[in-house]
Amino acid sequence: MNCRSIVKELTNYLDEALDSTLKASIEKHLEHCEDCRVVVDTTKKTIQIFCNSEPAPLPEDTRTRLREALERRLRRVRA
């Protein structure tokens, strides 16, 4: 296992989609490769930061137009 193979398998490793043998070889490499540890850690943080980010509140005018569009449709359904 070398640094290039670590990057190639990074997504499967972070998504826990590897078999135990490959996972163990990656972790063995990470034990002694500082650069790969940093890449794995900062990529994991990248995902976490995006995943944890809350969407901004809906602009008021956008919400109003959405409600009006729904109301028009619902009125047609009721009629």
Partner 1 sequence: MSTSKMNPLEARPLPSQVVKDDEPILVAAAKGGDISAFETLVGRYERKIFRLAQNITQNREDAEDVLQEAFLKAYEHLGEFQGNSRFYTWLVRIAVNQALMKLRKRRPNQVSLDEEIDTGEELMPREVEDWGPSPEERYQQTELSGILSSVISDLDPSFRIVFQLRDIEDLSTEETAEALGLSIPAVKSRLLRARLKLRQKLNRYFRRSENS
Q: Please tell me whether residue 52 binds partner 1 under the rule CB under 8 A.
A: yes
Owner of token pair 């997504």: 11
Site for partner 1 in 1-20 (CB under 8 A): 3-4, 7-8, 10-12, 14-17
CB 46 within 8 A of CB 16: no
CB 1 within 8 A of CB 28: yes
CB of 30 to partner 1, least distance (A): 13
In whole angstroms, what is the distance from residue 76 CA to residue 70 CA?
Answer: 10
Interface residues toward partner 1, by CB under 8 A: 3-4, 7-8, 10-12, 14-17, 35, 38-39, 41-58, 62-63, 65-66, 69-70, 73-74
